[in-house]
Structure 1
C-alpha cells in the first residue's frame, strides 16, 4: 500500500532535484543540461542585484506571514467549535458547508470575489444604501492582501479541520469523564484537555506551513492580481511564471526556486528545533 506513495515521491520530488544544476548554468533548451555552460553563482548575483526581486520577496514574505497569523488559526478554532456540537446532523451539515469551497478551483473563487466586490456587487450595493460611493476593491493596493487572506480562509479553513478533528477523536474519553466528575465545564475541558492534547498536531501542521512560507498558491495570486495591485501582489511564484515561462529565463527562475526552497528548509529546521526544545513531543522529528 505504501509503494504508490513512495514511487510518486521519488518521481516528482527526488528525480526533479537533478534540475537544480540549471541554476548554475546558462541553460539552453536545445543543448540540454549536459551541454549548457556552467556560470557558477552568476544568476544568484544578478538575482540579488535586481531591485524588482526584493519587492517580490517582500510581498511574498508579507502574504506568507499573513497566512500563518490569520489563516492557520482558523481551522484550529473551527475544530474546537465542531467538537462541542452534540447534534450530529447539525454538526455534519456545518462541516459539509465549510468543506465544499475546498473543491472549487481558484478560478471560480477569484471570479466570485471579483463579482462580489465589483461596482455593482453585493458589497458596493450595501455601501450604497448608507450613502457611500462605489469603490474598486479589487483594484486597490490596500485591500489586495486582506482579500487574499479572506479567500484563503473561505477555501481552506473547513478542509484544514479534518486532521485536527481526527486528532481530537483520538483523545481518551476517560479524561473528559474524570474532569466532569471534578466539576469541569465544557469550556474548561476544551482549554485544559482538548487544546493541550491537540498542541503536538498543531505544531506539526504549523511547521508544514512554515516550510511553505514562501511557496504561496500561484493560482490564487495570479487570478486575483490586477495591473493596479502588482506593487503589493506580485510574489515569487507569479514572478517565476512571468520571467521563467513567458520570457524563457530558465536558469534565473531555477535560482529563485532554489533560494525559495533553501529558505523554507532553514525555517523548518529552526522552528522544529524550537518545538523540540520547549515541548517534549513537539516537532516533526
Structure 2
C-alpha cells in the first residue's frame, strides 16, 4: 500500500513531464510502429486495390529474386562501400581536426573555427546539393574553372561519372559532418589530466611526443566507441544526399538501397519487391547495431543501460 501511494505521489509531481512526452510518444507510435504492419507486403504480390488482406501470398519469392537480380546486388555493394568509407574517413577527419583544434590557445579564435566547421551540419542536403551542382558544373562551375586555370585540367564530370560521383559523395559528406563529429573528441580531450602533460614537459617531451604517448592513448576508448557504434549505420549511405545529386548515368556506382527502394516502390509501383529490399536492410541494420553495442562493451566497457 505504501509503495502504491508513493508511486501515486510521484506521478502527481511528474505528470507535466509525462504530458510533455506524450506528443513524441504518439508520433513515434503513428509513424514508426503502425507502418510495421506493411512488412507483410514483402511476402505478397501486393495490389493497392486488394489491400494487405486479399493480395496474393508468395512467401519468400521476392527475397529470392532480390539475391538473383543483378541491380539489387549492385546497390547493396554500393551502399556498403559508400557507407563504410563515409564512416572511416569522417571519423578520421574528426579526430585529426580535434587534435589540431585542441592546440589552439586563443579562445576567441578557437570558438570561431568551431562555429565555422559546425555550420554545414545544420544545412539541408537540398540546399547543399544545389550549391554542389552549380560548383561542379562543367559549364562555368567554380571547381572546374579553378582546376583549368591552375593546372590546365579539362572539365571533369563529377556528377556524371560513377567513380568521380563516389568520390564527390564521400568528400562532400566529410566536409558536412566532420566538424560536428569533433564535439565528442574535444570533450574527451578536455577530460585528460593536465598533470600528464606537465610531467611530460619536465621529461623533455615535445608536443608531438605528448600527442603520441598521452593524447592518443587517452582518447582511444572513445574512438573505439564511436567507430563501433557507427557500424549500425553500415547500410545507411545517406538517402537525402544521394537523391539530390545522383542521376541515371551513375546508377551503377552511386545507387544505394534507399534510392533503389524509392524508385522501385514509389516510382515503378513494385511495392512488394521494394518492401522486401527495405526489410532486408532493416534486419541487417538491427543485427549490426546489436553487434556494435556488444563490441563497444567488450572493447571500451561502454553500455547504455
What TM-score do the two structures reach when normalised by structure 1?
0.86
> Larger Rg: 1 or 2?
2
Q: 8 Å contact 2:293–2:303 — kept in the other structure?
A: yes
- Corresponding residue SS for 1:154: helix
Equivalents in 1 of 2:116, 2:259: separation in Å?
31
Post-superposition offset of 1:102: 1.2
Q: Give the drift of 1:36.
A: 4.0
Give secondary structure in 2 for the equivalent of 1:194. helix
Q: Does 1:188 align with 2:205?
A: no
Match of 1:51 in 2: 70
In the alignment, is the contact (CA less than 8 A) between 2:233 and 2:285 conserved in 1? yes
Q: Work out which of the residue numbers 155, 162, 177 in structure 1 matches 2:183.
A: 162
Give deviations 1:88-132, integer Å, cap 9, x for gaps: 111111111111111221122222222222221223223333444
User: Is the CA contact 1:207–1:283 (under 8 Å) kept in the aligned structure 2?
Assistant: no
Query: Which portions of structure 1, spanning 4 or more consecutive aligned residues, are displaced by more than 6 angstroms?
Result: none
Q: 75, 79, 103: which is aligned to 2:98?
A: 79
Residues 208, 12 of structure 1: alpha-carbon distance in 2 compared, 3 angstrom cutoff: farther
CA distance in 1, matches of 2:49, 2:224: 46
- Residue-pair matches, total: 284
Alpha-carbon distance in structure 2 between the residues aligned to 1:252 and 1:199: 43
- In the alignment, structure 2 segments of 5+ residues that lack a partner are 1-16
Q: C-alpha deviations, 1:69-92, integer Å up to 9, x for none? A: 322211111112211211111111
**1:281 and 2:298 aligned:** no
Are residues 184 and 31 of structure 1, via their aligned partners in 2, closer, same or farther at CA, if it must alter by over 3 Å?
farther
Superposed, 1:1-285 pairs within 5 Å as: 4=21, 7=25, 12-119=31-138, 120-129=140-149, 130-274=151-295, 276-277=297-298, 279-281=299-301
Find the aligned partners of 1:153 and 1:280 in 2 and give their Cα distance.
Answer: 25
CA distance in 2, matches of 1:241, 1:127: 35
Q: Render the CA deviation track for 1:219-274: whole Å, top value 9, x for unaligned.
A: 11111112321221111111011011112322222211121122223334445555
Shift of 1:190: 2.6
TM-score norm. by structure 2 comes to 0.81
Tell me the CA shift for residue 54 of structure 1. 1.2
Evaluate the alpha carbon distance shift between residue 177 and residue 131 of structure 1 in structure 2; reply closer, same or farther with a 3 A threshold: closer
Distance 1:14 1:168 in 2: 40
SS of the equivalent of 2:261 reads helix
Task: Deviation per CA, 1:116-168: give whole Å up to 9, x if none.
Answer: 22221223223333444333332222211110011101111111111222233
Name stretches of at least 5 consecutive residues in structure 1 with no aligned partner: none
Distance 1:263 1:60 in 2: 12
- Cα RMSD, aligned residues only: 2.7
Deviation of 1:32 after TM superposition, in Å, equals 3.9
Helix, strand or coil at the partner of 1:151: helix
SS of residue paired to 2:116: helix
Question: Is the contact between residue 109 and residue 151 of structure 1 (CA under 8 Å) also seen in structure 2?
Answer: no
Shift, 1:14, TM fit: 4.7
Deviation at 1:31, TM superposition (A): 4.4
